Amino acid sequence: MLTRSALACLSLLASASISQASGAPDAARIIAQGAAQVQAGQGVQAYRALSPHVSWLAGNPGFDRVFGQAALAADQPSQAAFAFERCLAVSPRDGLCRLGMLRAHVMLTEVQAARNEIEIISHSAPPPEVQAILDEYMRVLTGKESAGQDTRLNAYIQAGVGYDSNPNTAMSQGSLALPALGNLVFRMSPDGRPQETGFNLTQFNIRYSTPLNAHWRLLAEGTATGNQYWSAHSYDAAIVDGALGLMRTEGSHRLTVKAQGQHYNLGGHGYRDMASLLGQYAYAVTDRAEVNGFAHVTQMRYPKYSLNDATRYAGGVSWSQALGNGRAIYYASAYGGREVGVHSNAPATVDYDFSGLRGGGMMLLSPRTQAEAGVGVEWRNYGGKEVLFGKARRDTQYDAYVNLSHALNRKLSIRPEYRYINSRSNIELRDYQRHIFSVSLRYELF
């Protein structure tokens, strides 16, 4: 906990910075009154008085600065963090907001984020009284880490609704000519046409990591996902994923090894089980750029369709780059591999080679809103010939997505998303398009 002298120093800084407040006369009066209350030790009263004005004064650095200090005094670190984030988005060199952000991180036990703020402030050669505050915070953080605070446990639940134009990945044409039958034309049954429908989605995710020593960290993650379609229940899906691994960090190098598993239930029945091993190496070229390489081997088993059992081998490289003071990140990747049937009597069409390219990125549009988008293309060349079509299958699949995440508060966010898939094939039956819209709420449990 900070000493009284440190808190007094923060109050003096708040008073000194009020002259920088901008806006209409009413705004200046509201900010001045709030600052006076904070300086007089009436932070709770200031927080209550300032809260009704957030909707129209948020984004004014002077208001956010004072409101953040009031929120800290009122034991509302989440609201304080939002206020200081808004302040720093407009005035990244604002020392008071930076100090306030540091204190909010400490109150929220966000140890690494607090250390990052200390490092930023220290680089600006702060005056002795501010350095004393930083030293005191560092002692607090050291105590938290020694008590095991560097162990990270995060979990969220997410629920929403959406629309899927083609959950059964059916071709859009109503009829199909089969070369093996003299190009006789068959009309597609209702089950063979796109079955557009709404759906409910739910997800639970939990992640845990803890240091084993100075270089090694244990990683564990589990996810349960459910999709329930309103009028196509045979495509209802329940998926459970789990992963356990180790990560080693040495300077600019990072090595991760994970064992992963998945159970996929489709239409109320077990459809597929997967077990895989992932190896990943990353090198930080600079503090804003990273190159990454990975290798992945996966065993896939289909309880009801055992002839489709296969082993998948994949590998690839990627590059990621941070832009705009870390407010945006983009990436590009290339990958390839092969999927091979495991049974000697499996049809040759089970085997295929694949390669692909992906690109995308994310951007912080505001302290509360993040946008993410990506595009990709994958080429697949299958072995053997499709009996009914007399030729080997060749697919090209394009996909794209865009989503937004807007934080309603530090725990709850709303997440609209759109996905598009377009599969082009020389086998007409494999041609399809799919549009998926959804909007969900995510609540961070811890």
For 125-174, what is each residue's pLDDT tens digit? 677 767 777 777 777 666 655 444 467 888 999 999 999 999 988 887 76
Please state which CATH number belongs to domain 152-444: 2.40.160.40
Q: Residue 5 pLDDT > 70, yes or no?
A: no
Cα separation, 397 vs 106, in Å, equals 47
The 8-class DSSP code of residue 20 comes to G
Which of 118-122, 144-148, 338-342 has the highest mean predicted lDDT (pLDDT)? 338-342
Cα separation, 329 vs 402, in Å, equals 15
Mean local confidence (pLDDT), 330-358: 94
Cα-only R_g, the chain: 27
Q: Residue 24 pLDDT > 80, yes or no?
A: no
Contact 72, 83 (CB under 8 A): no
Query: pLDDT tens digit string along 248-294?
Result: 988 889 999 999 999 999 999 999 999 999 999 999 898 788 999 99
Which of 78-87, 281-290, 337-346 has the highest mean predicted lDDT (pLDDT)? 337-346
Of the candidates 150, 50, 159, 147, which has an alpha carbon nearest to the alpha carbon of residue 415? 159
Mean local confidence (pLDDT), 434-440: 98
pTM over 0.75: no
Phi-psi region of 116 (alpha: psi -120 to 50; beta: other; left: phi over 0): alpha
The 8-class DSSP code of residue 179 comes to G
Confidence class for position 27, pLDDT limits 50, 70, 90: confident
Query: pLDDT tens digit string along 230-248?
Result: 998 999 999 999 999 999 9
- Check residue 213 and give its pLDDT: 85
Longest dimension (CA), the chain: 91
Please state which CATH number belongs to domain 4-149: 1.25.40.10
Cα separation, 159 vs 412, in Å, equals 12
104, 108, 109, 115 alpha-carbon torsion, rounded to 10°: -30
β-strands 394-407, 369-382 pairing = antiparallel
Cα separation, 281 vs 203, in Å, equals 29
Q: What percent of the chain has pLDDT over 70?
A: 86
Cα separation, 58 vs 86, in Å, equals 7
Confidence class for position 332, pLDDT limits 50, 70, 90: very high
Domain chopping of the chain, boundaries:
4-149, 152-444
Handedness of CA 164, 167, 172, 173 (dihedral sign): negative
Window from 5-14, 96-105, 278-287, 402-411 with minimum mean pLDDT: 5-14
- Check residue 107 and give its pLDDT: 83
- Check residue 150 and give its pLDDT: 67
Mean of all residue pLDDT scores within the chain: 85
* Cα angle 289-398-330, degrees, rounded to a multiple of 5: 15
Q: Residue 25 pLDDT > 60, yes or no?
A: no
Q: Which helix (H) or strand (E) holds 128?
A: helix 128-144
φ and ψ at residue 338, rounded to 5 degrees = -150, 145
Of the candidates 216, 211, 171, which has an alpha carbon nearest to the alpha carbon of residue 189? 171
Between 286 and 17, name the one with better pLDDT: 286
Mean local confidence (pLDDT), 314-329: 85
Q: Residue 354 pLDDT > 90, yes or no?
A: yes
Mean local confidence (pLDDT), 217-234: 95
Query: pLDDT tens digit string along 377-413?
Result: 999 999 988 877 788 999 999 999 999 999 887 789 9
Token readout for 104 is 């909010």
Mean local confidence (pLDDT), 199-227: 94
Q: Which helix (H) or strand (E) holds 285?
A: strand 269-286
Q: Residue 23 pLDDT > 50, yes or no?
A: no
Q: Residue 310 pLDDT > 80, yes or no?
A: yes
- Check residue 365 and give its pLDDT: 83
